[in-house]
A and B are shown apart, each in its own frame.
Chain A
C-alpha cells in the first residue's frame, strides 16, 4: 500500500506535461505525500475540478495504494 515518489511524479508528469511539480514524502513511508502542482491546464478550473484532474491522473491509485496526498494546485502564474 505504498508508492514511490518517482512513480507518483511520473503519473503526474504524464498528465500535466507543462507542470512544475514538487513532491514531499511527509512521513518518509511512501504513503503520505504532499504534491504542489502548477500547471496552466488548471487555468479557469475550480479547486474541486483541479483536484479531480489530479486524481484522474493517478488512475484510481488514490485512496488505495496511496493513502494520503495533500494537494496544492494552481496555474503556473499564480
Chain B
C-alpha cells in the first residue's frame, strides 16, 4: 500500500465522519463540496474535513481508494457513503439523518 493509501485508510479509521473535499469546511472551493458541508452543518454532526487541494497524492489517492472519480467523498464509520448527489438525495429523503443516528453520531430526533 502506498503512503497516500495508508494515510487515507488511517484518516477514515480514526474519524467517525470524514469528508474529502475541495477547500475546507470553513472555505469550500467548489460548489459540490460546499453543498455537502452545508448539509453536514445543518444536521449538526461532527466531521473531519480533508482538503484534497492541499495534497495531490491524497486528491488522486482517494479516487483510487474509493473507486470513485470525483470529490467530495463522504465516509461514515469507515464506509463510503457517496458523493454530492448521493449525499443530497439521502439528506432530502431523511436517510442521511437516519444513517448518522443509527451509527450513534447524531441525537435521535
Contacts and interface: CB of A to CB of B under 8 A. Distances in A.
A and B associate: yes
B100 interface: no
A60 B81 CA distance: 21
Interface in A27-56: 47-48, 51-52, 55
Given A47-B90, A48-B80, A68-B32, A63 B69 contact: yes
B68 interface: yes
Contacts of A64: 69
Interface size range of chain A in the complex: 10 to 19
Interface in B69-90: 69-70, 80-86, 89-90
A52 B83 CA distance: 11
A47 B89 CA distance: 9
A21 interface: no
A55 B68 contact: yes
A70 interface: yes
A70 B80 CA distance: 18
A48 B70 contact: no
Contacts of A52: 67-68
B63 interface: yes
A71 B69 CA distance: 13
A47 B32 contact: no
Contacts of A62: 69-70
B21 to A, nearest CB: 15
A48 B81 contact: yes
Contact of A47 (B63, B67, B70, B86): B86
Interface of B: 32, 63, 67-70, 80-86, 89-90
5 contacts: A47-B89, A48-B80, A51-B85, A63-B70, A70-B85
